[in-house]
Structure 1
Amino acid sequence: MFQSKEYILKKHGQNGTDRAYYLKQLTEEYKKTEKQEAKQQVLANLANFAYDPINFNMLWDLQVVDLFLEATTSKDPLLQEFGMGGLANICLEKRHYGYITSKASFINNIKNCIDPTFPSNTIVNAMTTLMQLITEENYTGNFFFASKLT
């Protein structure tokens, strides 16, 4: 459910949870923790926050898109799944879209997640992300099809 600032203020009040602070804490925890299960949980939470446009500015400022992109190349299938889920959720926001499509390596990493040995959620999120990123300009320019899908 998309939430407005007014809705959040009404629900949490003036002294409610500071969302920006919470997202910053999650991002720092993901970067610092050595525990794989903690990384998985944090990235799953960040991917869920990436669904709501009210969080886009905060996630952009925290460079969370880099965490999602990095997770697509992880050996951990859950990190790949949650990274792809985060990208699928956030990729239509203008700045994130531009950043994700700025490097062919990012697109190739997403395409590499369409692999029959991967969990189905990862594959579906990768396909969803690619479908949302394709425009007439980058489709006709062969950007997405420069290398063969693996």
Structure 2
Amino acid sequence: MFSSKVQLQKRTPENGTDRESYLTLLVDEYINKESTESKCQVLANLANFAYDPINYDFIRDVGVLDIFIHVLKNENNGTLLHFAAAGLSNLCIDPENVEYVLKHADLKIISTLLKSSHSETVAEAITIFIYLYHSHAKSAVESLNIIQDIQSLTNSENKVISNLANIFIDDVNKGHCANN
């Protein structure tokens, strides 16, 4: 459920940690943990915070987007990649976050997630591209082989992947029809 600043203030105890401070603690914890299991847990928490638009400014300010992008560029652990993709998927509905992703991430790296053996990660990657396609990043998405890669997923045995891929391809086809 989405929150308002007033609701957040009401739920924060008088001497409690505010949302931005808590996210900062999570970022520090992720950076300082050595255990992959601990990093996965913290990254899952960060991805959950990315669900609520009230957190977007905090997420940008404390470097959560940078962590998600760093994981996508540098990690090969499937669980870490899944949580980073989930976090970006949650954030890419916001134009400022899209701009940040376009500036600091490589869409080719995100497109490699379409070939992941983890179905949830593939679904998150398709969702990222759906949001990017509906933003000012449409031409960046069209310039790569992403459309063909997602087209190949429309017949996936996994219904979530198949449905998301078909939604994306339908959106592309509607966009091309509108341009003709």
Q: Which structure 2 residues correspond to residues 28-43 of structure 1 after superposition, within 5 A? A: 28-43=28-43
Mapped partners of 2:123, 2:136: distance in 1: 24
Secondary structure at the residue paired with 1:8?
helix
1:25 maps to 25
Q: Give the length in aligned residue pairs.
A: 146
CA separation of 1:14/1:100 partners in 2, compared to 1, >3 Å: closer, same or farther? same
1:11 maps to 11
Structure 2: gaps (5+ residues): 150-180
1:76 maps to 77
Q: Check the 8 A contact 1:101/1:133 in 2, yes or no.
A: no
Mapped partners of 2:83, 2:63: distance in 1: 16
2:127 maps to 128
| RMSD of aligned Cα (Å) | 1.8
Secondary structure at the residue paired with 2:141?
coil
Q: Which amino acid aligns with 2:14?
A: Q
What displacement does 1:15 show? Answer: 2.9
Give 1 or 2 for the bigger CA radius of gyration: 2
2:55 maps to 55
Structure 1: gaps (5+ residues): none
2:90 maps to 89
Match of residue 144, structure 1, among 137, 141, 152: 141
Deviations 1:9-34 (A, max 9, x none): 22234333322111101101111211
Deviations 1:82-111 (A, max 9, x none): 0000000111222211011236x5211111
Secondary structure at the residue paired with 1:23?
helix
**Structure 1 runs of 4+ with >6 Å offset:** none
Using the size of structure 1 for normalisation, the TM-score is 0.87
Secondary structure at the residue paired with 2:16?
coil
Q: Which amino acid aligns with 1:128?
A: T
What displacement does 1:136 show? Answer: 7.0
Using the size of structure 2 for normalisation, the TM-score is 0.74
Q: Say which structure is richer in helix.
A: 2
Mapped partners of 2:78, 2:131: distance in 1: 22
Q: Which amino acid aligns with 2:87?
A: G
Which stretch of structure 1 is more off in the superposition, 3-12 or 24-33?
3-12
Q: Which amino acid aligns with 2:53?
A: P
Pick 1 or 2: higher relative contact order, CA cutoff 8 A, min separation 6. Answer: 1
